[in-house]
Structure 1
Amino acid sequence: MPLKNIKWIYLILLSLVWGSSFILIKKGLAGLSPLELGSFRIIFAALFLVMVGFKSLLKINRSQWRWIFLSAFLGSFFPVYLFAFAETEIDSAIASILNSTTPLMTLIFGILFFRIVFTQNKALGVIIGLLGTLGLIFSGAQVNPDQNYFYSGLVIVASACYAINVNIIKRYMHDISALGITTGNFLVLLIPSVIVLYFTGFSLGEVAVNPVLSRSLLYVLILGVVGTGIAMIIFNKLIQISDPVFSTSVTYTIPLVALGWGFLDGEVFSYLQLISALVILLGVFLVNRTKNLYTANKTTGL
């Protein structure tokens, strides 16, 4: 199958999986703290990935591990905890829409540090997208005055982490398999996440007597294995067969799924928020209109 078709299949799969991740985070927080949820999400993903992808680690040479370490913390560790904390104060659907700023962040960091070509359309797209983001935050604060929309900033920081990570994978890790990158990432994060969990004071003995906690762990297990482990393999492969901005375009199809889950769960969403979300999508669309993003020679794989 042509790569142009495969990348769209990957994009659709990721939209469905990651679009459902936000509601899983929300449900997981019913019985877990943000630090506990983030730690279990990483631990479950790491155990799954080591089982299925251990052999892929043998193909990673010593010099490549520095990029694996950097990618692990930027692409998974910090965002996992940032999203967990953000959803203690803002709706899951809003978090998913704010996450759609990732392609804009990818372009900004790509221009500054990774030699992405800068065009007038891209500049206009970034400006429009950021205006839509501000509109979404302010309108959300009015619709849900009981929610602390300063926590929206955590999603923006997580999106920035994703953006830097995508550019790093495309430029420096194109010769490592997607499974190798993902397995290496979570192997690196296994010990740090266990340490964080230890200091939360979590007790496994509570699981048997607390049904809310049991359900939360089940949601996080699905989130870790499917929404993190399997999805990250697909995403890393998508980065390698397309360009960084196309890859992160999944973040503006994710909200379509997340909004559906949000409505089913009783989340309130105003017309002004919908308009702001459409403004963000317009900005991302403009950013994606130009195909050739890198000035580097294509034969280098960069």
Structure 2
Amino acid sequence: MNNQQQKWLFLIVLSLVWGSSFILMKKALIGLTPVQVGALRMLITSVFLLLIGFRSLKRIEKRHWKYVAITAALGTFFPVFLFAFAIKGIDSSITAILNSLTPFNTFIFGAMVFGFAFKRKQFIGILVGLVGTLVLILKGAELNPNQNYWYALLVIIASIGYAFNVNMIKKYLSDLDALAITTGHFLLLAIPALLVLVFSGFFSEFEVTPRTTSALGYITILSIIGTGIAKVLFNKLIHISSPVFSSSVTYLIPIVAVLWGIVDGEKLSLIQLFAGGVILSGVWLVNKAK
């Protein structure tokens, strides 16, 4: 299988896996706090990746570790907590649609910080996407007055972290294979995740009930498949494609997430679906202009 075929295969698999991750987080939050969900997600993933990828760590040279640490923080540590809190405040399907801002931010910060070229059509695409985002948030606040749509800002901040992560891996870690990068990330994150879990009161307050047991099951699936395996595939995708193409996995993630949300009884109006389509159209314009 050549690189062209591989990158589309990875894109489809990642969209299915990450599109399902939002509903898994929502279900895990029934029995766990957002902080516990984020910390457990990183800790379980760390154990899994160190079991399968420990030998790959020897390929990480001293010059790589600085960028491995930065991308671990921006692409994993902070976003897992931001998304957990966001889904606690707003519907998982809305969170997934807002995550579509990642390609915008990948392009914007790629142009501003990493020296990528800037084109007029891409700027138009960004404006289109921002209009869609505004409509989505305002209509969501109207449709779900019991939800706090300020939580949408957490998703936007996380998408900026993802944008820096993608650009930095492409620019500074392109000579390092995907498994080594991902295992390096979670080697560095294991201790901080454990400390956060300890201070969250998990070990002193956790009680075994049907609800908490189910939550642990959901977070384990999310950690191993949705974070561990998916991160390896995503880092591989970054290597064999461009940063913008890699982040364009968010084209398809909302479709999967919205379907799961509908199945779970979340309310989504036609205007919100239209706004989601506007956001994706803007992302498409940015990518097409490239």
Aligned-pair RMSD on alpha carbons?
1.0
- The question of 1:61 aligning with 2:61 is answered yes
Query: For residues 240 and 278 of structure 1, what CA distance do their matches in structure 2 show?
Result: 28
Q: How many equivalent pairs are there? A: 290
Query: For residues 168 and 204 of structure 1, what CA distance do their matches in structure 2 show?
Result: 39
Report SS of the residue matched to 2:146.
Answer: coil
User: Which residue is 1:299 aligned to?
Assistant: none
User: Which residue is 1:193 aligned to?
Assistant: 193
User: Which residue is 2:86 aligned to?
Assistant: 86
Equivalent residue runs for 1:28-43 within 5 Å: 28-43=28-43
Query: For residues 20 and 172 of structure 1, what CA distance do their matches in structure 2 show?
Result: 30
Equivalent residue runs for 1:201-212 within 5 Å: 201-203=201-203, 206-207=206-207, 209-212=208-211
Query: CA 1:204–1:229 in 2, change beyond 3 Å: closer, same or farther?
Result: farther
Query: For residues 72 and 206 of structure 2, what CA distance do their matches in structure 1 show?
Result: 30
Task: Give the C-alpha shift of residue 204 in structure 1.
Answer: 7.0
After superposition, what is the alpha-carbon deviation per residue over 1:142-193, rounded to whole angstroms, capped at 9, x for unaligned? 1101000000000000000000110000000000110000000011000001
Query: For residues 219 and 26 of structure 1, what CA distance do their matches in structure 2 show?
Result: 9
Task: Give the C-alpha shift of residue 205 in structure 1.
Answer: 7.7
Amino acid across the alignment from 1:45: T
Report SS of the residue matched to 1:203.
Answer: helix
Report SS of the residue matched to 2:89.
Answer: coil
Structure with the larger helix share: 2
Report SS of the residue matched to 2:202.
Answer: coil
Amino acid across the alignment from 1:228: T
Equivalent residue runs for 1:108-257 within 5 Å: 108-203=108-203, 206-207=206-207, 209-257=208-256
Query: For residues 136 and 242 of structure 2, what CA distance do their matches in structure 1 show?
Result: 27
Query: For residues 8 and 47 of structure 2, what CA distance do their matches in structure 1 show?
Result: 29
Task: Give the C-alpha shift of residue 121 in structure 1.
Answer: 1.0
User: Which residue is 2:281 aligned to?
Assistant: 282
Task: Give the C-alpha shift of residue 115 in structure 1.
Answer: 1.4
User: Which residues of structure 2 form unaligned runs of 5+?
Assistant: none
Task: Give the C-alpha shift of residue 2 in structure 1.
Answer: 2.1
% of aligned pairs identical?
Answer: 53
Amino acid across the alignment from 2:247: T
Report SS of the residue matched to 1:97.
Answer: helix
Report SS of the residue matched to 1:104.
Answer: helix
After superposition, what is the alpha-carbon deviation per residue over 1:258-301, rounded to whole angstroms, capped at 9, x for unaligned? 0110000000000110111011011000011144xxxxxxxxxx
Amino acid across the alignment from 1:233: V
User: Which residues of structure 1 form unaligned runs of 5+?
Assistant: 292-302
Query: For residues 206 and 244 of structure 2, what CA distance do their matches in structure 1 show?
Result: 44
Q: Which runs of 4+ in 1 moved over 3 A?
A: 204-207
| Superposition TM-score, scaled by structure 2 size | 0.98
| Superposition TM-score, scaled by structure 1 size | 0.94
